[in-house]
Homo-oligomer: A and B are copies of this chain.
């Protein structure tokens, strides 16, 4: 079971505020402090008195005496934020984040903490929504969703387990993998689908015989749904996880070329095999 005296949520958007809600509603933390860069968001959070015990003006103030601090800010801001709060963390405290890429972040945050008596362990809870801001926060956002915890060699074992138990306590299925393997997994299950869906939209938008949107059924809609995701978030992900994304895209592109060749060559056996392998794989996903 997970129970701590104080958790600090740094960045109280949809994800941070939902985590605060999940912790308080399940009585997993005695106190939850929050900080947001935006004064408007801080005001909103101050009104959520059942969610945040205190809303602070600075991240340093929010992490004071916290057993755990969770950085729920955009990926690009995580390393700076870790450097800002590192020396304010109490002895034995654990700092984690929710960034969707891990290699770079884990290296930088780990460095920020070196020689300090607190630890950093990366996390990537795969939960979210198209909605943004604390107004849409949901105590059940994490229920049943996967989460990565990405310790590196120098991470104390106890710190990894502590962060894992927190995400499990809010309902997540936690996987411990290295930051590198995390980035490769995410490139395949999240980044690649996003970029392929977007490319399908761009391809469809160029079609000049008709407005294809009129004819789009559930198949086209489902296949492209993720392309509606926040471009601001994806601007950052594409270059944060660039190396793994390029590998996945090039590999996919080769698979596509093989498919095209088989259709060109009337290779019915290969097409039949591909259709059946794809269906078997998809059907086996729960």
Contact = CB atoms under 8 A, between A and B. Distances in A.
Interface of A: 126, 145-146, 175, 177, 181, 184-186, 188-190, 192-207, 209-210, 212-217, 219-229, 231, 234-235, 238-239, 242, 245-246, 248-253, 255-257, 259-260, 263-264, 266, 268, 271-272, 274-279, 281-286
A223 B221 contact: no
Instruction: List 6 tightest A-B contacts by C-beta distance, closest first.
Output: A198-B278, A231-B275, A193-B223, A201-B278, A201-B281, A227-B282
Given A202-B255, A204-B281, A239-B266, A210 B195 contact: no
Contacts of A189: 204, 212, 215-217, 219-220
Nearest to A209: B181
A283 B231 CA distance: 12
A125 to B, nearest CB: 11
B181 A210 contact: yes
Contact of A231 (B216, B255, B272, B281): B272
A278 B197 contact: yes
Contacts of A194: 219
B195 A219 contact: no
16 contacts: A175-B214, A185-B210, A185-B212, A188-B212, A189-B212, A197-B223, A202-B278, A206-B251, A223-B224, A224-B282, A224-B285, A227-B278, A231-B276, A235-B268, A238-B275, A246-B263
Given A225-B222, A263-B242, A203 B272 contact: no
A214 B216 CA distance: 30
A222 B266 CA distance: 29
Contacts of A272: 231, 235
Contacts of A234: 275
